[in-house]
Amino acid sequence: MDKILRIDMSAEGGPKAKTTPVGEYAGLGGRALTSAIVSKEVPPLSHPIGANNKLVIAPGLLSGTTAAMSGRLSVGCKSPLTGGIKEANAGGQPSQMLARLGYAAVVLEGKGKDNTLYKVLINKDGVKITPDNSLKMLGNYDLVEKLKAEYGQKVSILSIGPAGEMKMASASIACTDMEMRPTRHAGRGGVGAVMGSKGVKAIIIDDSGTKMRSPKDPEAFKDATKRWVEGLRKHPVTGQGLPAYGTNVLTNVINEAGAYPTKNFMWGRFDTCSKISGETQAAVENERGGEGSATHGCHRGCIIRCSGTFYDKDGHYLTKQPEYETVWAHGGNCGIDDLDSIAMLDRLDDDFGLDTIEMGATVAVAMEAGLAKFGDAQGAINLVKEVGKGTPLGRVLGNGAAVTGKVFGVERVPVVKGQAMPAYDPRGIQGIGVTYATSTMGADHTAGYAVATNILGVGGKVDPLKPEGQIDLSRNLQIATAAIDSTGMCLFVAFAAMDQPDTFQALIDMINAFHGLKLTANDVTELGKSILKNEREFNVKAGLGAEHDRVPEFFKREPLPPHNITFLVKDGDLDKVFNW
């Protein structure tokens, strides 16, 4: 991956593509590269959907190789939702294909001069940019079917739905999976709105005629890859729990811990959560059958296979297996305990191109405002359909929980830097509250997954209900996560890497053997720190200082049942997270 593809959407005479050497960004991949380009090239005070923002799409350092779990894609920009820097991460096929075509990144620049929509084809022969207004306002599913008919079954596609075209701040970018379904999303922060602002509806990637990327030291790479796979398969989370029950295995676990946000973060337990748990979901999927039902990978080379396929009661494909955060967001958070309704909401989100976490949090805020009743699944479906239609109410909801709370006068709005919190209450899991508050991305569980140590006992144990130890825990996890996000590796590999030193070493050995490097664990730590430094400096210049590294006031005031505690980490301690 020695080149960057830049597409200027505002060029005279129409969009123009050029390929440049990777240059000063050499050695970077994934999040390290997206954040480096955004922090260097995007004016921090620029408007997120203006011409000066850039959308950066980057495979990881190991994407396009035979390394297991290496198919994650990073998408970066200035976020329309937070106003700060953003990296959204997705699975699916595009990362592997882009890497095999030799691109370290694709950068969308400028802004179209009219409302023309474009599709971009990238293959071994170069780049073709074509206006195609027949694609306007198509949902991701219909769009992909139309593009498959034109480009065949062996491409991968990044696309936006109507939400992205309408430049809604909760809009996602869909990535097709192995079955060419638009089910894997770079969801958080409104990256789809930035793609929409550029006038790009879809990017089609065709890696026909390319080969797997070749390591500098094939034998060492093969040996490290073997040890890596063995480590992932022997860990109970990555080798057993996730393959059997998917990410939704966490529902009963987090509910039992008293940290499952219920009815817009009112309570920490959902009485009927067993109806939507991972165990129940897997049983339903297995009973209904169908290809890839309860266990499925989101991209080739995935061996954890924590995804699945959800078929309706009549055996028809509906959506991919809704993930834990989605089941919570549209489920317990809205008082809904029906898996079929949750799956329909997931399908609508994917089709319209919406972040399921943001939309679930938004619907719950809307329910608190009286737009529907908690537990009303059809009411929730109707609200999401309003977003897809772009009605005035839909445009409010499509711009996220913070905007919806302001419009309807709701105080309990669970956001940090404008981005909705995922499926863990920071009062019941204090470490994840530190990550929510201080992450450069806004409230984001993946930025420093303290749940692993607070609840699951991975990487040690820190009491989830006490403030002690949470600052160090979140800091170390945020550093490690930034580095992992740069490799193209799925974040779930961290469970095995944190518990098994030999598995972590295998990851380092893979990187070294592939790139001809001599990195140590300390070098990986320094990479993570450098990424966070870039991101924090951008945010400060964009107006997001330490005063924004806070959880909403109600978390400090309202005790959370059943433990009846508040968020206990002091503001002054939050300001120490990045003191390294």
Residue 133 neighbours by CB distance under 10 Å: 10
Burial class (CB in 10 A: 0-12, 13-18, 19+), 88: buried
Which of these, 422, 419, 336, lies nearest to 380 by C-alpha position? 336
Is residue 459 over pLDDT 90? no
The burial of 450, by beta-carbon neighbours within 10 Å (0-12 exposed, 13-18 middle, 19 or more buried), is given as: buried
Give the model's confidence band at 69: pLDDT under 50 very low, under 70 low, under 90 confident, else very high: confident
Instruction: Assess whether pLDDT exceeds 90 at residue 7.
Output: yes
Q: Give yes or no for residue 194 having a pLDDT over 80.
A: yes
Q: What is the mean pLDDT of residues 283-290?
A: 86
| Cβ atoms within 10 Å of 416's Cβ, excluding its own | 25
* 225-262 pLDDT tens trace: 999 989 999 988 888 878 777 788 899 999 999 999 99
Q: Which residue has the higher pLDDT, 321 or 257?
A: 257
Helix (H) or strand (E) holding 421, with range, is none
Right CATH for 259-425 from 3.40.190.10, 1.10.569.10, 1.20.120.10, 3.90.1170.50: 1.10.569.10
Closest CA to 85 of 565, 566, 553, 543: 543
* CA atoms 59, 126, 65, 308: torsion sign: positive
Model confidence pLDDT, tens digit, residues 17-26:
999 999 999 9
Four-CA torsion 541, 547, 549, 553, nearest 10 degrees? -150
DSSP code string of 479-501: HHHHHHTTTT--TTHHHHHHH-H
Alpha-carbon distance 476 to 471, whole Å? 9
Measured torsion, CA atoms of residues 422, 521, 468, 260, in degrees rounded to the nearest 10: 20
Predicted TM-score (pTM) of the model is: 0.96
- Stretch(es) of the chain classified as CATH 1.10.569.10: 259-425
Lowest-pLDDT range of 29-38, 61-70, 193-202, 463-472: 61-70
DSSP class of 266: T
CA distance 550 to 565: 17
* The two structure tokens encoding residue 258: 């008293």
For domain 3-205, is the CATH number 3.40.640.10? no
Q: Tell me the helices (H) and strands (E) count for the chain, helix number first.
A: 24, 16
Q: What residues have CB less than 8 Å from 538, skipping those under 6 apart?
A: 35, 38, 39, 42, 44, 84, 85, 440
Considering the chain, tell me which residue range(s) the CATH 3.60.9.10 domain(s) occupy. 3-205
Give the SS3 label for residue 27: coil
Burial class (CB in 10 A: 0-12, 13-18, 19+), 303: middle
pLDDT-derived band at 291, boundaries 50, 70, 90 = confident
pLDDT of residue 305: 72
Question: Can you give 448-482 as a three-state secondary structure string?
Answer: CCCHHHHCCCCCCCCCCCCCCCHHHHHHHHHHHHH
Predicted local distance difference test score (pLDDT) of residue 246: 78
* pLDDT on residue 168: 98
Mean per-residue pLDDT of the chain = 95
